[in-house]
């Protein structure tokens, strides 16, 4: 297990044993994760690094939503666009 996984596991164990007084039972999962990320930004970074290492795109989208909720930011529109963003005179790549 690498250091990133160890950090995540430590936080999960702390939550499970109530060493941290985080009230999550009445909150939606995204809001609970956003609270954790706000409290510990290093956990947010470690989570994203782990997801990128594993190559799990659906999980990355979930984490992006939770991190956006935690730290604010622009609304994310994941609708694919079929238009070429380059001006008409641009050379093809």
Does residue 86 form part of some domain? Answer: no
Query: What pLDDT score does 72 carry?
Result: 84
What sign does the CA torsion over 42, 19, 21, 30 have? positive
Does residue 88 form part of some domain? Answer: no
The model's confidence at residue 19, banded by pLDDT at 50, 70 and 90, is: very low
Contacts with 14 (C-beta within 8 Å, 6 or more apart), sequence order: 20
For residue 51, the enclosing domain spans 3-71
Query: What pLDDT score does 47 carry?
Result: 93
Does residue 13 form part of some domain? Answer: yes
The model's confidence at residue 26, banded by pLDDT at 50, 70 and 90, is: very low
Average pLDDT over residues 54-67: 88
Q: What does the alpha-carbon distance between residue 48 and residue 54 come to, in Å, rounded to a whole number?
A: 10
Task: Kindly report the pTM of this predicted structure.
Answer: 0.52
Q: What does the alpha-carbon distance between residue 35 and residue 29 come to, in Å, rounded to a whole number?
A: 10
């Amino acid at each position: 297990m690498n250091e990133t996984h160890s950090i995540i596991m430590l936080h999960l164990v702390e939550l499970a044993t109530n060493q941290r007084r985080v009230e999550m039972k009445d909150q939606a999962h995204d809001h609970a994760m956003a609270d954790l990320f706000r409290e510990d930004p290093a956990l947010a970074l470690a989570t994203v690094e782990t997801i990128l290492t594993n190559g799990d795109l659906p999980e990355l989208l979930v984490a992006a939503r939770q991190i956006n909720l935690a730290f604010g930011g622009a609304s994310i529109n994941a609708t694919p666009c079929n238009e070429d963003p380059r001006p008409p005179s641009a050379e093809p790549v």
